[in-house]
Homo-oligomer: A and B are copies of this chain.
Amino acid sequence: MAEPRLPLARIVSPLSVAVIGASDDVGKFGGRVIHYLIKHGYSGRLLPINPNRASIRGLPAFPGIGAAGPVPGGIDVAILAVPVAHLLRQVEDCAAAGVGACIIITGKLADAGPEGAALEAQILAVARAAGMRLVGPNCLGIFNMTDRAMLSSSLVLEAEQVKAGGIGMVSQSGALMGTLVSIGLHHGAGFSRCISVGNQADLELCDVLDFLIEDAATRVIALYIEGLKDPARFAPLLRRARAAGKPVLCVKAGRSAAGAQAARSHTASLAGSYAAFAALCRAEGAVLCEDPAIMVQAADALDRLPRLPGPGLGLAVIASSGGSTVTTADMLPAAGLRLAEMSEATRAELRRWMPESHVHLPLDTGSFDDGTSEEGLAACVRAFLKDPDIGAVAVPMTTQPAMAARAALFPGLCREGGRPILFVMTAAEVGNGARDALREADFPFFDRVSDALGVLRALEAEAEGRNRAALPPPARPAGIGRPPPLPEGALTEAEAKALAAAYGIPVTRGVLARSAEEAVLAAEAIGYPVVLKGVSRAVVHKSDLGLVKLNLADAKALRAAYAALPDLPLDGVLVQEMARGEAELILGARWEPGFGPMVLVGAGGVLVELLRDVQLMPAPLRPADAEAMLRRLAVWPVLEGVRGRPALDVAAAVEALTRLSWLAADLGPRLVEMDLNPLLLRARGQGAVAVDARATIGGEQP
């Protein structure tokens, strides 16, 4: 295996490009590749390869890459869009000719089944042996807008111009990448480099992410991910991107499949790999989007608009239509957003322009004393952008006179105010004048209120990530030793509780007994009422088998319960204090292959099944992270003390969750999974206690 000759930066900006299968016919892949290279101003050396033509697009053509003759510095890149049957030979020829990298558009390799996968492996072996890099196969190549090198057959290159700008993109789907570039161009967004990695035979998404983090032309990074080849590379790259001040946005395929994964325990069923990926993104400040069309618009907003001053602020909505402002306000709660609360200073400014009765958000400038004067509009927006509760301003413009002139006000106001203004041209073609004015001013716009709100959610996630990055790293809580020696396989409840207790997590007191009499002695030591549990390493859900007898008030009840245990081969019985609490949580920990240790917290009891009200984060946690997880739960109001209920001991839950996260971090891949379910939470100051615990320990292999 030879060292690769070319760095990725040079593959993206090649000094010379050979197009295998070049053609004058733009109906063919190779025809489009050379057409787009020329059309978009490629300035390096271009070598059309075609055995049947002497010249193509006015350039001398060569019958094969080997015939291209000595090229000064060698041939940097060959683009192959050839039938799959010819692919291996062509790649061999490229390797023989000393080509630096092949961009393989040809598909039906590993994506088509085992036969294709075998061919892909052969091609990779040829490339590796020659120190030649591969992009693809089954990709759509590279758009390098910064250097005007369009190494692709994508139809998006039919656009008159592909604007250079700060968005770098990596995609495992070439067609989707082309589409996102098209959407971006419509909105006036600019791109640095867009790289379709296809089957990732050689160069993979993380390689390109690494490159974009270092790339001076790239200010924001957008990723479309189907599956990471080496997930362990991802988090460190996200940290480097953050250190470089470059927001990373991503869409990850497989969100809907996560819920369908069968799993034998709660934790596993709630923490599939999409959930782990989402948790990782949150922890590392990457912005995970659901809709690719929102991702590219959010990337543009992060490239061309000021960032939010911080997370959690409100939105001001202003436009000349009561209908559009009210419906925009109505859409905020479902989008996870809220209207701002205006300061008195802002209200005073607004009062200068309209009757007191109309001074409220959303603001309808139709109520201005003298119509929607530009002066009043600008004054109100300026006041908004100084208001401490206003993070951003949304302007859902409808059909109205002077749309373009009115739209043209906002770029300057936004620059001046230093906070995002989300301008929405809600009308279609009749609003194109306003769109043109904003493209001219290099200012983003939206076509849909729903797009603007989706983007604002993404900006909010970016601001949250920025805040989190400013926190000190997690610190080991006091009084934690090292994990005790643990048997492999499923732990008994007593073993799992001992493990939790070793990390300072409160668990119910219990004694293992082998007979009814031993159980009675144990109960007397613990104090009635007690719980009796049949213990078996073979049983996961004790309650379902009738192995749990609650609230036994005296020795008579205990003996009766003992006698009523089902006839199963038990390892003994556990006699435990009967704990009570005001609410149940489930705490979980697991090793997520590729992502590392994760902890989970959720509403316990039937709610865990019903609402899937769970939060997942990589371990270890800061106490602030643990509290933030609890605050994101739907049951948070119960923990805080909703209407007449007592506030619960949130601090105890934070402590238990933080300590469990260190347990998960310490055990690493040995902790297959662990549940504390339920953790009973008592009123504030009265602590929490884990009533049941399960854990499975794996071997030492990571």
Contact = CB atoms under 8 A, between A and B. Distances in A.
Interface stretch (A330-338, A464-472, A589-597): A330-338
B610 A428 contact: no
A643 B610 CA distance: 10
Contacts of A221: none
A226 B176 contact: no
B293 A173 contact: no
A251 B328 CA distance: 12
B156 A399 contact: yes
Interface in A428-442: 428-431
Contact of A321 (B112, B173, B251, B643): B173
B186 A428 contact: yes
A357 B113 contact: yes
Given A635-B610, A643-B609, A175 B324 contact: yes
Contact of A175 (B292, B320, B543, B642): B320
Nearest to A544: B644
A634 B610 contact: yes
Nearest to A362: B256
A517 interface: no
Contacts of A541: 644
Interface in A155-181: 155-156, 158-159, 171-179
B429 A185 contact: yes
A323 B427 contact: no
A572 interface: no
Interface in A275-325: 290-293, 320-324
Contact of A449 (B293, B327, B400, B431): B293
Given A293-B448, A331-B291, A429 B182 contact: yes
A293 B324 contact: no
Contacts of A182: 399, 427-431
A417 interface: no
How big is the A interface, by class? 35 or more
Nearest to A32: B401
Contacts of A321: 173, 175-176, 179
Contacts of A427: 155-156, 178-179, 182-183
Contact of A112 (B175, B367, B401): B367
Interface in A628-668: 634-635, 637-638, 642-645
Contacts of A400: 155, 175
A179 B326 contact: no
A327 B291 contact: yes
Interface string A96-120: 0000000000010001110000000
A398 interface: yes
Given A179-B427, A324-B175, A332-B256, A293 B399 contact: no
Contacts of A185: 428-429
Contacts of A611: 611, 634
Residue among A171, A330, A544 with the most chain B CB within 10 A?
A330
Contacts of A606: 638, 642, 645
Contacts of A290: 330-331, 334
Interface string A136-161: 00000000000000000011101100
A330 B429 contact: no
A329 interface: yes
A330 B255 contact: yes
A403 B173 contact: no
Contacts of A366: 107, 111
B183 A428 contact: yes
Contact of A642 (B174, B447, B609): B609
Contacts of A178: 398-399, 427, 430
B638 A159 contact: no
A323 B291 contact: no
Interface string A388-410: 00000000001111010000000
A450 B158 CA distance: 25
A331 B449 CA distance: 18
B333 A426 contact: no
B449 A291 contact: yes
A529 interface: no
A36 interface: no
Contact of A329 (B186, B256, B610): B256
A111 B541 CA distance: 64
Nearest to A610: B637
A259 interface: yes
A53 to B, nearest CB: 21
13 contacts: A111-B367, A154-B399, A173-B322, A173-B324, A173-B398, A175-B320, A175-B398, A175-B399, A175-B400, A290-B330, A291-B327, A293-B449, A610-B638
Given A179-B427, A256-B339, A291-B448, 5 more contacts: A111-B366, A156-B430, A175-B324, A448-B448, A611-B634
5 shortest interchain CB distances as A-B pairs: A173-B323, A176-B323, A186-B428, A175-B321, A178-B399
